[in-house]
A and B are shown apart, each in its own frame.
Chain A
Amino acid sequence: MTASPVTDLPTVDWVDPAELRSDPYPIYRRLRAEAPVAWVPSVRKLLITSFSGCLYGEQHPEIFSSRVSNAHMIRAIGGRPMIRKDDPEHAAERSTVNPTLRPKAMKERWNAVFEANARAAVDALEERGPETADLNSDYARPLASQNLIDLLGLRDVDVETFARWSADFIAGSGNVLEDDEIWARCDRSRAEANAALDSLLPYLRRVPDDSMSSLLLQAGLPEESVRANIFLTISGGVNEPQHMVTNMVLLLSQHPDQAPDVESDGWGAVFDEAVRMYTPIAMVTRETVADSVVDGVGVPSGAQVGLILASANRDEAVFDEPDSFRVGRSDHRHLGFGSGAHMCAGKWAAESSIGRIAVPELYRRLPGLRVDEARPVTWDGFAFRGMTSLPVTW
């Protein structure tokens, strides 16, 4: 057998960061075709856009480390959360929250909470009315916030404040341009969130429950780690389920023939295909700690790498007509939740709370729900991407 030739890492100079935020998919398509493993100076990262390359990165944490240098996330939330650690350090923290995030805990503990929250949120949306309702701000955001407030066991914080903390932490985590205004609001939100934990954590030490915060405490982690992981959860746990509400409704509005009956169990498949189509966590960051070869291209040690999961999920090498929304496609798995030790901890919670509860509840109560063509749909984000407005009517 002859060894496959290893090609040098190409540099791609045509990627415009503004375009990545406004319309990334044509860029990903071109990168996959021309340079699926490439150094992209405009985003200061080595971007991997093929399915095979992203999977390789995810499956080889001994090369693609999560201990990324100069991580803005650590500056944003004031500590190093588990997502920026490797096993076994990461596993020691991650394993503490897993028990309350498995499917059984959803069924026995959380689904009733998610259902009550969804019913209350539809009430509020209905009150808003079919002329002005925005599914993002009037349903998806407050609902995703309330669900996460409950999962974390927080008390005495309103959904809008909580959603602002999340948005500010995310903005700080992505503040590669070191914008002072972003750091200022990130710091203010962190101070508010820390104040909330100052009263919550002593309470949970006395009266433990099955919330994520309580489980982190019960495991005996240092309080700094407990806080960092709660803030990580606040950062990552609002935007993504929020975006999945709007993604599903937009796609079903465009493809009404693929909407399952509200009482059927076909909603998991709709959720899954919507995650593939509009992957809310478009990129995960890693740092190489050894030389490797990815898709035949030499990747040096010490490189900051962006695995573009949103691109992997549209890779024509593994998906048939990847830009088509096809509920129940069985040609290939997608990488929307990542793959490996850092697979999204909230995967089951999101599938349940959004896919199987929040979205079907909308159609149960408002059977005529659809996108309001008279008002504009807006999108934003590169690493984290979703709709900022989805006007709906019914």
Chain B
Amino acid sequence: MPTVHYVQPDGSETVLEVPEHESVMRAAIVAGVPGIVAECGGQAMCATCHVYVRDGDALELPEMGEDEDEMLDCTASERTARSRLSCQLKNLDGIELTVEVPERQL
């Protein structure tokens, strides 16, 4: 079961054990992690579950699809090379992942 650290802009952190099939977004919604809005519920129709992945290169993350790439152009906080939609991060197979929640989602 992957462990996900959600780091808020003020540095505070929530740590969740995320069930294998569940996305980093859905786990945050269920646990009430602030700053993950997820307006479209995980279909890459919005960009309100945007996160910055820390040290993502060292991890085996799902590849970014065309839809996710397109929607990341619509984020409220600046898109960087570390930007992902957390709804697309799932099936993470036991890894430990740290995501930073951006200042704004809207």
Contact = CB atoms under 8 A, between A and B. Distances in A.
Whether A associates with B in a native complex is yes
Interface of A: 59, 61, 91, 94-95, 98-99, 101-104, 330, 333, 337, 339-343, 345, 347-348
B71 interface: yes
Given A59-B29, A333-B106, A339 B41 contact: yes
Given A61-B41, A103-B70, A343-B46, 13 more contacts: A59-B29, A95-B43, A98-B43, A99-B67, A102-B71, A330-B106, A333-B106, A339-B38, A340-B40, A341-B41, A343-B40, A347-B45, A348-B45
15 contacts: A98-B44, A98-B67, A99-B67, A102-B67, A102-B70, A103-B70, A103-B73, A333-B106, A339-B38, A339-B41, A340-B38, A341-B42, A342-B41, A347-B45, A348-B45
Interface in B39-61: 39-46
Nearest to B48: A333
Interface of B: 29, 37-46, 67, 70-71, 73-74, 105-106
Main secondary structure of the interface of B (DSSP, over half): loop
Contacts of A337: 39
Contacts of A341: 40-43
Contacts of A345: 45
A104 B70 contact: yes
A101 B106 contact: no
A20 to B, nearest CB: 27
A113 to B, nearest CB: 20
A178 to B, nearest CB: 33
B39 A94 contact: no
A342 B38 CA distance: 12
